[in-house]
Structure 1
Amino acid sequence: MAKANWIDVSYFQDPEKFDYQAAKQAGIQGLIIRAGYGKTQDTAAAQHIANAQKYGFMWHLYHYWYNMGGEAEWAVQNAKSLGLTANQYIFLDMEDKSLPADWNGQFAVFRKAVGDTYKVGLYCSDSPYKAKFQDSQLQQLKVARWVASYSYEPANYDIWQLSGAGGGGFGSYTGDVDRDYTKSDILSLYATTNINPVVTKPTADLQYIQPIMLQPGYDTETNIYGLGYSPDNGVHFYVTYTTFGAKYRQEDADRLWKYLQGFVSKQIHDAVSLTWDNIKGKPDLVLRSDLPDFNQFALKKNLPAPVDLSGYAKTDVVEAVKATAESALSNAEKAQSTADEARADITKVQQMANDAVALANNARATINTNDELTVKKPSEYSEGFSHELKRVAVMIPDRSGLIESAQAGTIGILSTMSYGNYARQTLKVLDSQRPMTFIRNGSDDTWYPWETVTTTITVD
């Protein structure tokens, strides 16, 4: 079987624990990172991207599809917020069992939303791929075909996901990681990585940086020939000098800056003589001569103590107290009359209170059925308890790691208990033979991973 050279990750692979260096030593070239699902960003996406760049991996993104209204546009904006560039892929992950039958039409909606912003790919298992898509059409549209098949090699693919749950991890990370294999350079041609330039030992008359040595070549971005360089041993080749003039990118400037910084700093130092007058943007200050003579003032601690007037009252206060007393006497008389009237209503009020208690005791918690597909953050819940009808696949997109009976069921009751910045959720699956319950905690805008609670003894 082919050897994996890429992996795909999400928050199921904790970036705080994942052993990136061990994966690299195992021959993994890059990561396909889950950007989000539905209209929710994967909580580990940004950190996986940062670590991919830190350890020198190439990377792309994928989005788990629920076919929600406006989901395609949201996925594009989410990818943009995570720093995906036009030279990278965003794959649409189509595998959720709740999707309508027309997968090809839904994928067309996604491709239209992405447009020319990113390169587009499709992920699904081999069986639905052959049933729902035309391979020749996807090749004509230049769609990268990412096909999953764990027991045999698919007939048509660009990237083959050859293992899923049970594949194990790398090095110190023992959790499962999906393995992928690319039989071409389709992912490495368009990817972002963090390649550090290799500095060679200078000769007596020449000092140079190996990755930016000019050589004739073909620019895969502009489709023109010229003098250029490859920063990653031929995976990418960028033309610098062409018949149309010189071409530079921000990456070029970033690589060269460390070698130019000392020279530029010296030129700035020699060119600028720092004086108060040539400092730009200085704050609005006053001179010591602009301040008053503080010898004309006394300190608060040197002031004499004020006369103690705590035993006295002002005349207007005394008059006000007298008027208040007279008003109080009048109000007392009115209060006596009101009290007599209130006594007559006590029986009626008591009966109303009894009715209210009975009504409260008979009240039942209501279940919100308005929105089965939205996943709210902990901070979006009001304090107290609430119950909602939810699609299980929306709340828990991947149950493939559980036993078969725990993967059944599509509808559940989501109960939320919220207090302060904290929340606890319980998801009870309704339409499955086995009574499955999932729980999780959360705080602010973050939910922690689901855990299961279930029975282990069947009562005959």
Structure 2
Amino acid sequence: MLTPNVIDISEQCLTTDFSKLKSEGIKSVIIRLGVGNVQDERAAKFIIGAKNAGLIVHGYHEYQDDVENQIQWSIQNAHKLGLSNNAYYFLKVKNNKNIEEIFRPFYRNWKMNRWNVGLYAPATEFKNINSAEFERNTIYKWTVKADNDQLNQKMDLLSINSLNGLGKDVDVSGKLIQIIDANESVETNPNKDYQVSSGAFVGFDYSTTSVQGGKFLVASPDGINKIPKLGPDGSFMFNRDDGERILKLIGAKIVPRIRIDKNTLLKTPADYSDGVFYEKVFLDNSRIKINQGKLGILITKVIVNDNHCYARQQLEIVDSKSPVTLLRNGQDDAWKDWNYLLGDEENAGAD
């Protein structure tokens, strides 16, 4: 009989006694940190409670379709919540035909941020994934216990049962219950005896970014910072400017993708990263009152600078009889009031 030694937990679990769970043989906990681009409401509280009880803390991110920039958001969210270096960070993907393609950029970026990485997926999906790549990159396999013992033997973590947001699991490999060596003291720039040329330097050196470790292939656009260009698995890393230069060379056309997120109008400027975002908006449950028109396109332009997030939003109502466009600015966790750039409340529904 399999004896649980790990729990997984999400905000659906309203409260739990971590000390009691430890006395029952639980040694570590995997806490859901976020879904899509929304932080789990109780993640921070659960992390503190688990650590205070002496449990080893790992995390997982639940993938959500039609939400962009999840990789960068998941990294920022895990750092914000304090997920330790060398802890395991799992991606949970449910019933998606492209699990391997979804997971690959997550694990590459997570490993560069010094986390161990795992995947939660249906057991049958692991048969279709490149096993050699998983072994080469030490990917931890987590699934629900199956009736097929051969499938179970190939997994690292088996979920036994789940109730009200609290799941009990068996760490078959024993990796999740080992004490985490955070290894926080990493020298990022020990070689300071030469002048870096602005916009010209490319070579192997220590990164000055949050991507830390040994020497990387780096470039310096400003003569000060050294930005990694080569990932630990051999992949090249491109920033937004690199991408735009490449698109110009190949003559590609940029077609913005409109995202659908039910929490769009609840997000703050800080919920976005640098860039331009296009989102579909339903006005039925919002505070924006339009005589006619319940459907809009929200364009959000964001700049992050000096630890502050500055944003401008333009909301275009697309199903009103007359054109209606609203505009507002925001910073960090707050938005200013909407201004009517085109149309107004009185004539929004006029013929």
Structure 2 length-normalised TM: 0.52
Secondary structure at the aligned position of 1:180 is classed as strand
Return the offset for 1:113: 1.9
Partner of 1:124: 121
Secondary structure at the aligned position of 1:43 is classed as coil
Return the offset for 1:147: 1.8
Return the offset for 1:121: 0.9
Contact 1:73 1:114 (8 Å CA) reproduced = no
Q: Measure, in 2, the Cα distance between the counterparts of 1:151 and 1:64.
A: 25
Q: Measure, in 2, the Cα distance between the counterparts of 1:176 and 1:185.
A: 23
Partner of 2:39: 41
Q: How does 1:128-277 map to 2 (within 5 A)?
A: 128-130=125-127, 132-149=128-145, 151-153=147-149, 154-165=152-163, 175=164, 177-189=166-178, 191=180
Partner of 1:93: 92
Return the offset for 1:373: 3.1
Contact 1:126 1:148 (8 Å CA) reproduced = yes
Which amino acid letter does the alignment assign opposite residue 117 of structure 2? V
Deviations 1:228-272 (A, max 9, x none): xxxxxxxxxxxxxxxxxxxxxxxxxxxxxxxxxxxxxxxxxxxxx
Q: Measure, in 2, the Cα distance between the counterparts of 1:21 and 1:192.
A: 22
Partner of 1:228: none
Secondary structure at the aligned position of 1:77 is classed as helix
Partner of 2:110: 114
Return the offset for 1:49: 0.2
Which amino acid letter does the alignment assign opposite residue 125 of structure 1? P
Q: Measure, in 2, the Cα distance between the counterparts of 1:161 and 1:417.
A: 39
Return the offset for 1:24: 1.5
Q: Measure, in 1, the Cα distance between the counterparts of 2:166 and 2:284.
A: 31
Partner of 2:79: 80
Change (3 A) 1:45 1:63: same
Return the offset for 1:155: 3.0
Q: Measure, in 2, the Cα distance between the counterparts of 1:414 and 1:27.
A: 49
1:18 pairs with 2:16? yes
Change (3 A) 1:143 1:370: closer
Larger Rg belongs to: 1
Q: Cα RMSD over matched residues?
A: 3.3
Contact 1:125 1:149 (8 Å CA) reproduced = no
Return the offset for 1:149: 2.4
Secondary structure at the aligned position of 2:153 is classed as coil
Contact 1:123 1:147 (8 Å CA) reproduced = yes
Q: Measure, in 1, the Cα distance between the counterparts of 2:77 and 2:124.
A: 29
Q: Measure, in 1, the Cα distance between the counterparts of 2:60 and 2:68.
A: 18
Q: Gaps (5+ residues) in structure 2?
A: 187-256, 269-278, 289-332, 334-351
Secondary structure at the aligned position of 1:179 is classed as strand
Q: Measure, in 2, the Cα distance between the counterparts of 1:88 and 1:379.
A: 29
Q: Measure, in 1, the Cα distance between the counterparts of 2:266 and 2:161.
A: 34
Secondary structure at the aligned position of 2:76 is classed as helix
1:372 pairs with 2:260? yes
Partner of 1:51: 49
Change (3 A) 1:140 1:190: farther
Question: How many pairs does the alignment contain?
Answer: 205
Deviations 1:251-306 (A, max 9, x none): xxxxxxxxxxxxxxxxxxxxxxxxxxxxxxxxxxxxxxxxxxxxxxxxxxxxxxxx
Change (3 A) 1:10 1:415: farther
Q: Measure, in 1, the Cα distance between the counterparts of 2:36 and 2:56.
A: 25
Q: Measure, in 2, the Cα distance between the counterparts of 1:47 and 1:415.
A: 33
Contact 1:135 1:156 (8 Å CA) reproduced = no
Change (3 A) 1:190 1:114: farther
Change (3 A) 1:55 1:73: same
Contact 1:150 1:161 (8 Å CA) reproduced = no
Q: How does 1:371-450 map to 2 (within 5 A)?
A: 371-373=259-261, 375-376=263-264, 378=266, 415-416=284-285, 418=287
RCO (CA 8 Å, sep 6+): is it higher in 1 or 2? 2
